[in-house]
């Protein structure tokens, strides 16, 4: 991934080339003008030394303005604001250096009057600073753009994978065929009930087909779907399961990821009811607290897998909430009493109506 490291390396290379060029040009220009050989070296070298100090300062302190890369005007203004200080400190340190070295060599450093020097050097520094700020801005923007693009691509890939997984998880053929068989049995004896189940199954299918297109929905809709799913499962397992709902009255409008509750409920049936010979109790609860939405699906009669691995359903749920809410949402699955409880906590947001 391109980052500060790449920017710094490129900048160092350009900076070295630039000063090499300045020194070579200066030495060539003054070769025949009667100066001592080291004088052009000292002039450019001192400038280079002080300017490098300022560049290092920019590299360290400028990091805090990286967030402004999207707003070039503000980014430049923040930097340009330092130019007066830069100019004054530059002239003072550079000329102090030069006078010092000349004094050591036992000669006088002759230059135009201080007013002229100050104006001339300030102008040069302003131009020079603008040039290098533009280069730095260009390099950093490019690195940022590359990072951004990388992140977007990853995000898109994750979203696509998650959506695929989502569809796979929902259209569980096993669930579908069992439900159809239940209906096929019921319609011989109770046409109205078979008809109702068929409609519920159709609702579920429709919702699972749509889920790929919509990332979030309201908790009210999600619970409605979960109820349909639970009703079909109850028709299949009749006496072997009781399902209770404990939903606070004020949570219906909360935004939740589409078809997130359903896989948790599916797990409760799969590991609780389908694998247990005893009657199983399933409880679904939702409440609001501390600007968060708390949801819970609990089933009796099962243990967690001893190896601690979670199934595709759970890891898919975790991937989805991580994409949508980052680390502000979490999904925990733990053993509790005689069963297993899945707890989902996510930031409270109202679903668009």
Shortest separation between residue 182's beta carbon and other proteins, angstroms: 5
Residue 301 to residues 54, 69, 286, 341, Cα–Cα distance (Å): 69, 56, 22, 11
Shortest separation between residue 232's beta carbon and other proteins, angstroms: 11
Shortest separation between residue 281's beta carbon and other proteins, angstroms: 15
Nearer to other proteins by Cβ, of 110 and 239: the residue is 239
Shortest separation between residue 230's beta carbon and other proteins, angstroms: 15
The answer to whether 320 touches 257, Cβ cutoff 8 Å, is yes
The answer to whether 234 touches 241, Cβ cutoff 8 Å, is yes
Nearer to other proteins by Cβ, of 8 and 184: the residue is 184
Nearer to other proteins by Cβ, of 147 and 184: the residue is 184
Tell me how far apart the alpha carbons of residues 97 and 109 are, in angstroms, rounded to a whole number: 11
Shortest separation between residue 155's beta carbon and other proteins, angstroms: 33
* DSSP for 269-329, written as a single string: IIIIITT-SS-EEEEEEEEEETTEEEEEEEEES----TT----HHHHHHHHHHHHHHGGG-
Residue 46 to residues 30, 42, 108, 136, 227, Cα–Cα distance (Å): 17, 6, 16, 22, 78
Tell me how far apart the alpha carbons of residues 231 and 262 are, in angstroms, rounded to a whole number: 12
Nearer to other proteins by Cβ, of 73 and 277: the residue is 277
Tell me how far apart the alpha carbons of residues 250 and 252 are, in angstroms, rounded to a whole number: 6
Tell me how far apart the alpha carbons of residues 218 and 293 are, in angstroms, rounded to a whole number: 12
Nearer to other proteins by Cβ, of 108 and 188: the residue is 188
- Which residues are near other proteins by CB under 8 A? 173-174, 177-178, 180-186, 188-189, 235-240, 274-277
Nearer to other proteins by Cβ, of 104 and 238: the residue is 238
Shortest separation between residue 274's beta carbon and other proteins, angstroms: 6
> Which residues have CB under 8 Å from 280's CB, separation 6+?
240, 241, 242, 272, 273, 299, 300, 301, 302, 339
The answer to whether 294 touches 344, Cβ cutoff 8 Å, is yes
Shortest separation between residue 194's beta carbon and other proteins, angstroms: 10
Nearer to other proteins by Cβ, of 153 and 180: the residue is 180
Shortest separation between residue 167's beta carbon and other proteins, angstroms: 16
Tell me how far apart the alpha carbons of residues 257 and 57 are, in angstroms, rounded to a whole number: 46
Nearer to other proteins by Cβ, of 153 and 191: the residue is 191
């Amino acid at each position: 991934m391109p980052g500060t490291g790449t920017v710094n390396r490129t900048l160092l290379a350009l900076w070295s080339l630039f000063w090499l060029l300045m020194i070579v040009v200066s030495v060539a220009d003054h070769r025949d003008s009667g100066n001592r050989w080291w004088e052009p070296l000292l002039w450019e070298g001192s400038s280079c030394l002080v300017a490098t100090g300022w560049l290092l300062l920019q590299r360290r302190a400028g990091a805090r303005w990286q967030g402004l890369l999207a707003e070039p005007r503000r980014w430049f203004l923040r930097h340009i604001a330092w130019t007066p200080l830069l100019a004054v400190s530059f002239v003072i340190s550079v000329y102090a250096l030069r006078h010092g070295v000349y004094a050591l060599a036992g000669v006088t450093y002759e230059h135009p009057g201080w007013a002229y020097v100050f104006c001339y050097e300030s102008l040069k520094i302003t131009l020079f600073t603008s040039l290098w700020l533009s280069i730095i801005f260009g390099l950093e923007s490019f690195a940022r753009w590359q990072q951004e693009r990388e992140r977007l691509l990853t995000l898109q890939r994750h979203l696509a994978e998650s959506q695929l997984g989502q569809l796979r998880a929902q259209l569980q053929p096993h669930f579908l065929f069992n439900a159809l068989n239940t209906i096929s049995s019921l319609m011989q004896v109770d046409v109205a009930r078979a008809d109702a189940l068929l409609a519920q199954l159709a609702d579920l299918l429709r919702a699972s087909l749509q889920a790929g297109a919509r990332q979030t929905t309201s908790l009210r809709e999600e619970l409605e779907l979960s109820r349909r799913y639970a009703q079909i499962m109850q028709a299949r397992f009749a006496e072997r399961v009781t399902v209770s709902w404990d939903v606070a009255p004020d949570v219906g409008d909360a935004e939740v990821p589409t078809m997130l509750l359903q896989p948790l409920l599916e797990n409760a049936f799969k590991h609780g009811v389908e694998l247990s010979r005893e009657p199983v109790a399933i409880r679904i609860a939702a409440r609001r607290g501390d600007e968060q939405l708390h949801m819970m699906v609990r089933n009796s009669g099962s243990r967690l897998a001893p190896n601690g691995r979670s199934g595709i359903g759970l890891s898919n749920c975790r991937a989805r909430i991580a994409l949508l809410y980052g680390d502000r949402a979490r999904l925990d699955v733990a053993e509790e009493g005689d069963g297993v409880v899945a707890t989902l906590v996510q930031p409270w947001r109202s679903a668009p109506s």
